[in-house]
Structure 1
Amino acid sequence: MGRRGWAMGRQGGGTVRRRFTLLYATGFLASGCVLLALTYLMSGTLQTALAPEQAPGTGPGAGPGSASPEQQVRELSRQLAEVHAQQNHRLLAGSLLALAVMTGVSLLLGRVLADRVLRPLRLITAATRRISAENLHQRLAVAGPADEVKELADTVDGLLERLEASFLAQRRFVGNASHELRTPLATMRAALDVAVAKPQPAAQTLALAGRLRTELDRVDHLLDGFLVLARAEHGTLADREPVALDALTRAALSARAADLAAKALTVEDRIRERVWTRGSATLLSRMVENVLDNAIVHNEDGGWIRIATERADEEALLVVETGGAVLDQGRVDRLTRPFERLGADRTGPEGSSGLGLSIVSAIVGAHAGRLSLVARPEGGLRVEAALPTAAAGDRCAGRTR
């Protein structure tokens, strides 16, 4: 998961914590209000029951000397009721103040409780985020009582176990396919060599051998593409090291000088030095080669290619642009899928396996980068591969090798 996924996870976790806090505080506030209302109602009922009925001739205007003992008792009861009413008002005001204070305390306590409740889930999320295709053997192994959190962790562990088995099966298939398919190809090549090496071979035999050799070369190229694609998508990058992206680009460009000259292509070189990334030098070299091959094969005679490497926002960029006909962006977006082509006009004279850009996409993804394919409004295609830059210490180590 990238930085964006990590930020979304943190934001989601904060939202759940706020919900727990608000739920706890709201429940406390509601129960406090109900308790306060019941207390006030009960005190009011008690005051009404204790309040005496005022007899005739009694009241504020009646003299104290004319009051009978019964009237004096009623007057004392009335005064006692007034005292109770004042006490109830003071109790209500004090209760409201205490409720306001406890509301703030409940928010703080709710946050603490929410953190404690969500702590196991945060640990599970962090541990799951650290597990990738390179360390699928790791497990969460959450200890504790058999509750919902442990059940969730055990479910994630079971999913990781099935993923690990699937990845291992995929890698075994790639290894077996590499051995089993290359062996018959080598046998067929040897048989062709024997047939052609016979004294005075027939012209038809030579022509047939030439066509078969061409087809075998295409099958071998296709098989190599399958294996590279499988390794980039399902394999581990155990050979990570600092790699100079500009050096790989210049080497690939120099190796294709004859192909560029054959189509009279003009190359605009914007390759900057010291553009470093970290990853598999073999796969990254294949990525650069496929991008350049795509720009050469699917270009028009006498066209142009603009190649640039640069650093921007902690990313190492490889940008290759070509001219040509105006392309549909919707169809361009599908070029990262295996065997996707834009049609016969982009297959070139030697044909295309349809794996070039899908391999590029897989290699970029395996290096935690991003690939952008844009149909230029003026015509042609712009390919941008952005990879994480290597740390300063890694770059220094790469120069000393």
Structure 2
Amino acid sequence: MLRRLALTTRTVRLRFTALYGVLFLLSGAGLLVITNLVTLGQSHVAPALPPVEQHTLAATQERISRLQAQLLEMEETQTRQLLIGSVVALAVMAMVSLVLGRIVAGRVLRPLRTITAATRRISAENLHERLAVPGPTDEVKDLADTIDGLLERLEDSFAAQRRFVANASHELRTPLATMRARLDVAVAKPEPIPAQTMALADRLRTELDQIDRLLESFLTLARTQHGALPDRATISLGRMVSAALDARAADITARSLTVHDGGIHDSAWTQASHTLVSRMVDNVIDNAVTHNHDGGWIRVTATAADASALLIVETGGRVLDQEQVARLAQPFQRLGVDRTGSGNGSGLGLSIVAAIATAHGGSVDLHARAEGGLRVTISLPLTTAQTGVTA
């Protein structure tokens, strides 16, 4: 609360208000000082007395003394009233100067507030919008035009990157498909094929499949980072997790892994891309299965908490370094072979998970468990389940 109050007191409008208020106040104080000096200077000028006769000298002196006493009393009264009036006028002027300063500051900063609100509204999905601030050519309009130029360059850059991703998706898959087709033709000839050739063909197929998966992961990461969110729908994280575990039942059995149900509820619903969230869930489950020890365990939780749909996947293992774990959300980052005894993986799995969660307004937390192993917590905006939605 104190921090919010401190930030509020440092706004540009408040600084302008203080500046204009002080300037108005100083101007008024100077005007009052000059007025008081001129008035007091004039009040001390004694009027010239006419000459008097000798025989009335004593009476005249007595009368002069009375008049001087009266004048002195009037001057003191006038000075006191003038000072009181000056203080009251200065207080009124201080209040008026603050009000005028705030009004002037608000009018000066109004175009900047408009620019700020419009800039916050513009994101990667509506870069075509422009500020288009009207008015004469001044510093504010120059700033708005500069931001419009920047938005135009960003729009062109995003469009070029999207075209690159779309073209790369086609151009890079074509030679892979051609290589796989030629390999199949070569091993399908009727004459006997040496065993070494068949072994080499199997290795090449494995490498081609790995390249294809790597390419698919890279393109998914690129599309997600550029805001491409297809087939948005209301989906259930719990149902997706159950489907992902069922699809990997054979791999889980082969490695003798134990899956603990930490609470897979049907309350974790979110509005998101079905394709991307399905890939996100598959990646985090694959990561838990692949980077695990034979005979290890996995605990999966899908639930709703506050305004978030949560997916938590935990695995056991050795104690990990939190700094290294935090870097797993970056592309091509691995913990090494000695984490699980397996060097498989492209280093893109958790980075894709993080990119998909961020694109949907969520987050991913990677935490090294104190007892050993890893906990992955995915948070997505919670929404209400819709009738007829079965995702």
2:389 aligns with 399
- Which residue identity is paired with 1:15? T
Relative distance call for 1:257 and 1:39 in structure 2 (3 A) is same
CA shift digits 1:267-293 (9 cap, x unpaired) = 111211131111111111111111111
* C-alpha displacement of 1:202: 2.0
Alignment partners' CA distance in 2, 1:99 and 1:171: 64
1:100 aligns with 91
CA shift digits 1:67-96 (9 cap, x unpaired) = 338x75686466345423322321211221
Of 247, 254, 264 in structure 2, the residue corresponding to residue 262 of structure 1 is: 254
Contact 2:296–2:316 (Cα < 8 Å) also in 1: yes
* TM-score, L = length of structure 1: 0.88
Contact 1:305–1:321 (Cα < 8 Å) also in 2: yes
Aligned pairs for 1:274-313 within 5 A:
274-313=267-306
1:344 aligns with 337
Contact 1:303–1:323 (Cα < 8 Å) also in 2: yes
Relative distance call for 1:400 and 1:307 in structure 2 (3 A) is closer
* C-alpha displacement of 1:249: 1.0
1:119 aligns with 110
Alignment partners' CA distance in 1, 2:234 and 2:130: 30
- Which residue identity is paired with 1:37? V
2:152 aligns with 161
1:32 aligns with 2:28: yes
Of 176, 194, 203 in structure 2, the residue corresponding to residue 202 of structure 1 is: 194
Aligned pairs for 1:71-220 within 5 A:
72=63, 76=67, 79-80=70-71, 82-199=73-190, 200-220=192-212
Contact 2:327–2:333 (Cα < 8 Å) also in 1: yes
Alignment partners' CA distance in 1, 2:109 and 2:188: 75
* C-alpha displacement of 1:111: 2.2
Contact 2:337–2:343 (Cα < 8 Å) also in 1: no
1:18 aligns with 14
Contact 1:327–1:376 (Cα < 8 Å) also in 2: yes
Alignment partners' CA distance in 2, 1:52 and 1:206: 133
Alignment partners' CA distance in 1, 2:246 and 2:314: 17
1:223 aligns with 215
Alignment partners' CA distance in 1, 2:110 and 2:232: 34
Secondary structure of residue in 2 paired with 1:396: coil
* C-alpha displacement of 1:361: 0.9
1:273 aligns with 2:266: yes
* C-alpha displacement of 1:51: 7.8
- Which residue identity is paired with 2:313? V
Point out where structure 2 has 5 or more consecutive residues left out of the alignment.
50-55
Point out where structure 1 has 5 or more consecutive residues left out of the alignment.
1-6, 54-63
Contact 1:51–1:77 (Cα < 8 Å) also in 2: no
Contact 1:133–1:236 (Cα < 8 Å) also in 2: no
1:46 aligns with 42
- Which residue identity is paired with 1:22? A
* C-alpha displacement of 1:47: 2.8
Runs of 4+ in 1 over 4 A off after TM superposition: 10-14, 71-75
Identity %: 60
* C-alpha displacement of 1:125: 1.1
Of 364, 374, 382 in structure 2, the residue corresponding to residue 389 of structure 1 is: 382
* C-alpha displacement of 1:350: 5.9
Relative distance call for 1:11 and 1:122 in structure 2 (3 A) is farther
* C-alpha displacement of 1:119: 1.6
Secondary structure of residue in 2 paired with 1:67: helix
Alignment partners' CA distance in 1, 2:266 and 2:166: 37
Secondary structure of residue in 1 paired with 2:303: strand
- Which residue identity is paired with 1:46? Q
- Which residue identity is paired with 1:262? A
* C-alpha displacement of 1:322: 0.8
Secondary structure of residue in 2 paired with 1:98: helix
Alignment partners' CA distance in 2, 1:234 and 1:399: 27
Secondary structure of residue in 2 paired with 1:300: coil
CA shift digits 1:198-242 (9 cap, x unpaired) = 012221221111010010011001000110000110133243221
Contact 1:229–1:359 (Cα < 8 Å) also in 2: yes
Alignment partners' CA distance in 1, 2:220 and 2:369: 29
Alignment partners' CA distance in 2, 1:290 and 1:142: 46
* TM-score, L = length of structure 2: 0.90
* C-alpha displacement of 1:108: 2.5
* C-alpha displacement of 1:259: 1.1
Relative distance call for 1:32 and 1:126 in structure 2 (3 A) is same
Alignment partners' CA distance in 1, 2:118 and 2:11: 20
Task: Output the aligned Cα RMSD.
Answer: 2.5
Aligned pairs for 1:316-331 within 5 A:
316-331=309-324
1:240 aligns with 2:232: yes
2:52 aligns with none
Contact 2:318–2:339 (Cα < 8 Å) also in 1: no
Relative distance call for 1:323 and 1:90 in structure 2 (3 A) is same
Alignment partners' CA distance in 2, 1:34 and 1:271: 75
